[in-house]
Amino acid sequence: MPLRLYNTLTRRNDEFTPHDPSNVSMYVCGPTVYDFAHIGNARPVIVFDVLFRLLRHLYGENHVTYVRNITDVDDKINARALRDHPDLPLNEAIARVTEATARQFDEDVKALGCLEPTHEPRATANIPQMIDMIGTLLRRGHAYEAGGEVLFDVTSMADYGALSHRNLDEQQAGARVAVEPHKRHPADFVLWKLSSGNEPGWDSPWGLGRPGWHIECSAMSKRYLGEVFDIHGGGLDLIFPHHENELAQSRCALGTSEMAKVWMHNGFLQVEGQKMSKSLGNFVTIHEVLKDWPGEAVRFNMLRTHYRQPIDWTNASLLSANDALDEFYRLRADDYSTHGDLDSGVLDALQDDLNTPAALKALNDIRTKIKLASGFEQIVLKRKLTASANLLGLLYKAKTVWFVSRAAGVDTQNVEALVAARLAARRARNWDESDRIRDELAKLGVAIMDNKDGTTTWEVKR
């Protein structure tokens, strides 16, 4: 069965054929780092992590390049830096905010079982590439300077609006924002704007300034994935204007007929029927949720709904996700084995536009079969369950780790990081450090066992 993905551009479930099966490429718009990410922001990260895992399975681990950027230049970041570090020079204050927030984001999504993307580029490390692209757009007649800005001229592109399926006349008629007099067309958008006073700036042919939001993704996707790549993803709210404008910039600067082959968008995570968002104030941060729930339960709950559907986020649904995981962990193969066969039901479901609810149902069917089986047949089924769940980023922990950490309220993530650090110290023959970490774990009530087969396991002793 071939992989099919819903493409926002064609509005169809298209069969996926990569440009180059030995180098499949995916770009997902990442966070703007000024504050803790909320649980809605976790949705695209988890959804595209499942896709990343599936692509690695289909095309080979080393044949998929996944880029998820970090937006570390934005007016919200400036405001936060001025508020939190008024005594520091602006650049330092901004760096403090963006570094701490990006680190927190990486920790949060790791706890949700997400693999690291191949590249996680930062906007501020790609300013010359953006300036270069804006220069090309000006030279090719797709941009103009006005009112201290460089703007993209939307009328210079015949099919502007193709992704969001809007045409320019509709946009003009429906425009609710006041027309800014320096714009030739109300839909023209900023590529570069001049900075003054308390705003960060970089030298450019148009003066000291900073990039608009959209240009960063055009510049970074080109740098890391090339002029045309396979999959571009993000939440529904990014279709317009962000992705529409990225697409316009890239195609017009590079003279290509497409930017990405497939455009994928996840639906919203909602609270009482409303999109979870910072501006509505109805958000819970990933960090807060992880204090009460294992990251895996959050992930499981997220995957119970198809990625294009809205999800209503409730504690009751998290609780039942946690209970379902208990059931799965009870039957997980004990021997860490991921060498089981993949279940065709799970794989087929994922290949059908990432149908994770159907994949979880297939896992449940294996669970039922395990209960009815015995002996070697049961062992094979348990291995199949583990291997198939792993494809979704689930059931990675040893059974004991799941239950012990659930029961004792131990911070599993921290313990696992310490165990890994101790292993690294032992490999480097740094026995003092290895003993120090063992003591630190003992203080947390965790004992570690170095097994004959070279693995290290741990358990809670209290």
Binding residues (CB under 5 A) for Zn ion: these are 29, 217
In the complex, what is the shortest distance from the CB of residue 27 to Zn ion, in angstroms, rounded to a whole number? 8
Provide the token pair at 130: 């953006």
Please report whether residue 212 would count as binding ligand AMP according to CB under 6 A: no
State the number of binding residues for ligand AMP (CB under 6 A). 17
DSSP, collapsed to helix, strand or coil, labels residue 4 as: strand
Judged by beta carbon distances under 5 to 8 A according to partner kind, the member of ligand AMP, Zn ion, none in contact with residue 217 is Zn ion
Amino acid at residue number 370 = I
Residue nearest to ligand AMP (CB): 235
Q: Is 32 in the site for ligand AMP (CB under 6 A)?
A: yes
x/- contact string, 223-262, with ligand AMP (CB under 6 A)? -----------xx-xx------------------------
| Minimum CB distance to ligand AMP, residue 277 (Å) | 6
Minimal CA–CA distance to 354: which of 1, 2, 3? 3
The angle at the Cα of 309, spanning 160 to 173, to the nearest 5 degrees, equals: 30
User: To the nearest 5 percent, what fractions of the chain are helix, strand and coil?
Assistant: 50, 15, 35
From the list ligand AMP, Zn ion, none, partner contacted by residue 276 (C-beta under 5 to 8 A by kind): ligand AMP
Q: Can you spell out the DSSP letters for 288-311? A: HHHHHS-HHHHHHHHHTS-TTS-E
Taken in order 17, 20, 23, 28, the sign of the CA dihedral is negative
Give the C-alpha separation, 157 to 19, whole Å.
25
Amino acid residing at 438: R
Residues 275-294 vs ligand AMP: string with x where CB under 6 A?
xxx-----------------
Nearest to 111 by CA among 277, 287, 321, 332: 287
Residue with tokens 């692209």: 133
Stretch near ligand AMP under the rule CB under 6 A, chosen from 17-25, 29-37, 340-348, 353-361: 29-37
Best CA proximity match to 10, nearest among 316, 262, 242: 262
Structure tokens at 114: 């997400």
CB of 111 to ligand AMP, least distance (A): 17
Cβ proximity to ligand AMP: between 32 and 98 the closer is 32
Host H or E run for residue 107 = helix 90-111
52 binds, among Zn ion, ligand AMP, none (CB under 5 to 8 A by kind): none
**Nearest distance from residue 123's CB to Zn ion, in Å?**
10
**29 or 187: CB nearest Zn ion:** 29
Query: Where does residue 55 rank: exposed (0-12), middle (13-18), buried (19+ CB within 10 A)?
Result: buried
Of residues 41 and 98, the one with the C-beta less far from ligand AMP? 41
CB of 189 to ligand AMP, least distance (A): 16
DSSP 88: S
How far, in Å, CA of 236 to CA of 309, rounded? 10
- Choose from ligand AMP, Zn ion, none: what does 43 bind? Cβ within 5-8 Å by kind: ligand AMP
Cis geometry, peptide bond prior to residue 128 (ω within 30 degrees of 0) = no
Chain-centre distance for alpha carbon 338? 25
Q: Give the residue, chosen from 18, 44, 113, 294, that forms a contact with ligand AMP under the rule CB under 6 A.
A: 44
- Cβ proximity to Zn ion, 72 vs 296, nearer residue: 72
Pick the closer one to ligand AMP by CB: 31 or 340: 31
Residue 269 contact partner, candidates ligand AMP, Zn ion, none, CB within 5 to 8 A by sort of partner: ligand AMP
Minimum Å gap between C-beta 70 and Zn ion is 11
Q: Which amino acid is at 433?
A: E
Interaction between residue 41 and ligand AMP (CB under 6 A): yes
117 is an interface residue for ligand AMP by CB under 6 A: no
66 makes contact with ligand AMP (CB under 6 A) = no
Please state the length of the chain.
462
Measured between alpha carbons, how far is 131 from 143 in angstroms, rounded to an integer?
13
**Minimum distance between the CB of residue 220 and Zn ion, rounded to whole angstroms?**
8
Closest among 269, 257, 287, 310 to 411, alpha carbons compared: 287
The option from Zn ion, ligand AMP, none interacting with 277 (CB < 5 to 8 A, set by class) reads ligand AMP
State the minimum distance, in angstroms, from the CB of residue 240 to ligand AMP: 12
Contacts of 357 (CB under 8 A, 6+ apart): 303, 304, 305, 306
- Which of Zn ion, ligand AMP, none does 31 bind, CB closer than 5 to 8 A by kind? ligand AMP
Region binding ligand AMP by CB under 6 A among candidate stretches 40-48, 163-171, 220-228, 404-412: 40-48
98 binds ligand AMP (CB under 6 A): no
Given the rule CB under 6 A, which residues bind ligand AMP?
29, 31-32, 40-41, 43-44, 234-235, 237-238, 266, 268-269, 275-277
